[in-house]
Amino acid sequence: EMSEMSERSKQNVAHGLAWSYYVGYLKIVLPRVKKSMEEFSRANPNVLACRETWKLHILVPLSCDIYDDLEKADSNIQYLTDLNETTLTRAGTKKRVYKHSLYAIKDEDNNKLWHCAVEYATPLQSLYAMSQDECAAFSREDRLEQAKLFYKTLEEILKGSKECAGTYRLIAYHEWDEAETHFLSRNILWHLHQQHHEEYAVYEGNQPHNPSTTLSSTELQISQSDLPQPLRSDCF
């Protein structure tokens, strides 16, 4: 019976992580992102030129392999500075600090620098750690399916959030080509280009190509049986 319960609970790991990430973090910080960007832009008018990119760009590697230092993940990504921090009292912690880092992304095609706020979706670290811990009985295949489910669940949650509308960009990707040094910066640049074209729709027919690391909808398909069931209180 415990084994069956454990197997069933795996279906809800990513679902719970996505909701926790949203309620405990994104719902708090995302509504404040554009204000922080605006404050930074007033002091540095030539850095954040495209308002459409004034969002938090959230990296979702389906491998769940996360670098603590983005500059080590890709040398074309360089830390610039931190945006103004938000300080709140949360869960008994006085003056808890929330902040985001601004990075310069080098575009090798034209030697141009693009700037944006980027960070990983930290709950993926938990999925990775579970797949490395024998006690969790969590395989690599489980991890991939849960990463896909985490992304799809988070995407749906954020789509339904009025507070977070227009404040984020989810960037999900596979790390297919380990020999490709700059796949991450190219992937981020593709999303920045897309947002630039959304604001300045004057280059129709000259859209940047979708990089191989950007996921198609078929790559994110999850079997219906793996989808978590709605949380209900009328079962008790």
Which pLDDT tens digit goes with each residue over 105-138?
Answer: 999 888 899 999 999 999 999 888 888 877 666 7
CA distance 99 to 84: 7
Distances (CA, A) of 148 to 63, 70, 121, 175, 208: 10, 22, 13, 14, 25
CA-to-CA distance for 100 and 76, rounded, in angstroms?
Answer: 19
User: How far, in Å, CA of 200 to CA of 180, rounded?
Assistant: 30
Helix axis angle for 123-132 and 13-21, nearest 10°, is 150
What architecture (CATH level 2) is domain 7-205? Answer: 3-Layer(aba) Sandwich (3.40)
C-beta of residue 161 within 8 angstroms of C-beta of residue 181: no
Q: How far apart are CA 141 and CA 163, in angstroms?
A: 34
The pTM score is 0.81
Q: What is the pLDDT of residues 135-166, one digit of tens each?
A: 666 778 888 889 999 999 999 999 999 999 99
Give the pLDDT band (50/70/90) at residue 225.
very low
Task: Give the pLDDT confidence score for residue 104 in this predicted structure.
Answer: 96
Q: Please report, for the chain, the start and end positions of each structural domain, with discontinuous segments joined by +.
A: 7-205
